[in-house]
Amino acid sequence: MTIQEIIASLPGARDKLQEIREIIVANAVMISEIPAPTGQERERIEFITSRFQEFGLQNACIDEFGNAQAILPGRAAAHNILVAAHADTVKDEAGFGSAAAVKSDAIDGWGIADNGLGLAALVSLPEILRRLDVTLDSDLILLAQTQSLGRGDLGGIRFFLEHVQLPIVAGICLEGAQLGRLSYSCLGMNRNKIVCEVPAEPTQWQETGSKSALVTMGEILQKLSAIPVPQNPRTTVIIGSMRAGTGYNSPPTRAALRFEVRSEQVGMARQIREQIEEIIDEVSAETGTVTSIEVLARRIPGGIPFSHPLVKATRDIMRGLNITPTFHPSVGDLAALIFKKIPSVTVGISRGLNIHAPTESVEIEPIFSGLAQLVGLLQFIDAHPGQMEPPPTPEGLEYYEGDA
């Protein structure tokens, strides 16, 4: 099947999928309402596994790491294509009090975009292919991976890729939003937490404030912001959050700063983190505070080229469905696949609003384009396994040891 034939079939597929709109929307709503903070995804994973089992997929099970997985067998079983969506959510347990709502044009609900809809696409995929009468030669491995976000550090997908016995020809990572997203490379990244502590001593009121973890963290932050960051290769330091204190009138004895360093170049993120470690040592010594840095997650930069047939096909398929591609490198599950030399992309399923906020929402109509895009991609990989060249080793990586 040529890419032209695939593209020509997609508008029809998109329209046909309207027939199972309620199944897809219901799956998205039900999945997003099951609490799944990172490390506590069990109930959501059981639901997903039961969906796999009900459809009669092979090997539908929960692995040792808590990932849900199943195989939809193809005609020839010559190759294996992985379709993966992370099962954990940014919001914690407390965020699950509010129920989702289905409006005429959108689904509202905290976590519906990241990643309720991505998971709905995953669990609905066997039904989608059945409705479209699409049978692949390849086996499809469906994976809902746990502990992907934040401190989870891609734990689920890393475990799966370390232990899977089947060779994987290509991978597709699913995110609920944004439709048009095309990630084919990943940034080098380290995700860190600095904790600064001062002893809680009774002080004269005149001294109040002099022994404050927050003040010390402020000094660290000031020096951290002054580190020169290269524009090329693109490198950024993202200060994500700072937490300290309980009120107005007592100096905090503990402060925590979370930040990420990202870079396109191997070793750059690590270099910057090492500079930050020096700053911490210096400020600790000057102020007499106990300050430590913990690395919560690391990524090595890499990816497949823009000209890779998988990226080109994804772009062509998107344009065939009037989806405008937007390119941005990933620090998510794609990195684990790229690290394992599996050519892969991450795509979104619909347009989302207010992602990670209680007012999170996804539009319903674009979902069908997002799903048709997924089907087209699977058909392309299935028809052209020989073009699925593995990602090249990033320049400099052969000399590189340690984190990104």
Residues that bind another protein (CB under 8 A): 20-23, 25-27, 29-30, 33, 54, 97, 99-104
Decide whether 36 or 168 has the Cβ nearer to another protein: 36
Dihedral pair phi/psi, residue 207, rounded to 5°: -90, -5
Decide whether 102 or 256 has the Cβ nearer to another protein: 102
Token digits of residue 15: 């329209």
Listed residue (366, 300, 363) closest to 331, CA to CA? 300
Decide whether 21 or 75 has the Cβ nearer to another protein: 21
Listed residue (57, 42, 81, 30) closest to 376, CA to CA? 81
Decide whether 192 or 361 has the Cβ nearer to another protein: 361
Type of residue at 32: S
Least spacing, CB of residue 112 vs another protein, in Å:
11
Listed residue (183, 175, 182) closest to 367, CA to CA? 175
DSSP state of 140: E
Alpha carbons 364 and 140: distance in angstroms, whole number: 26
Least spacing, CB of residue 262 vs another protein, in Å:
38
Cα of first residue to Cα of last residue in the chain, in angstroms, is: 40
Least spacing, CB of residue 403 vs another protein, in Å:
44
Decide whether 23 or 90 has the Cβ nearer to another protein: 23
Type of residue at 59: N
Dihedral pair phi/psi, residue 340, rounded to 5°: -90, 15
Decide whether 22 or 398 has the Cβ nearer to another protein: 22
Torsion angle of C-alpha atoms 311, 317, 319, 320, degrees rounded to 10: 160
Exposed, middle or buried, 30 (CB in 10 Å: 0-12/13-18/19+)?
middle
Token digits of residue 206: 């005149």
Decide whether 91 or 298 has the Cβ nearer to another protein: 91
Least spacing, CB of residue 102 vs another protein, in Å:
3
Least spacing, CB of residue 14 vs another protein, in Å:
17
Least spacing, CB of residue 191 vs another protein, in Å:
35
SS3 assignment, position 107: strand
Least spacing, CB of residue 104 vs another protein, in Å:
5
Decide whether 251 or 370 has the Cβ nearer to another protein: 370
Sign of the four-CA dihedral 82, 366, 33, 335: positive
Listed residue (60, 79, 82) closest to 69, CA to CA? 60
Dihedral pair phi/psi, residue 65, rounded to 5°: -90, -5
Least spacing, CB of residue 9 vs another protein, in Å:
24
Decide whether 98 or 203 has the Cβ nearer to another protein: 98
Cα–Cα separations (whole angstroms), residue 262 to 49, 190, 227, 327, 398:
35, 7, 14, 16, 20
Least spacing, CB of residue 20 vs another protein, in Å:
7
| Contact by Cβ (8 Å): 344, 172 | yes
Exposed, middle or buried, 277 (CB in 10 Å: 0-12/13-18/19+)?
middle
Decide whether 15 or 281 has the Cβ nearer to another protein: 15
Least spacing, CB of residue 22 vs another protein, in Å:
4
Give the relative orientation of helices 21-32 and 117-131 as an angle to the nearest 10 degrees.
150
DSSP state of 136: -
Least spacing, CB of residue 126 vs another protein, in Å:
12
Decide whether 34 or 81 has the Cβ nearer to another protein: 34
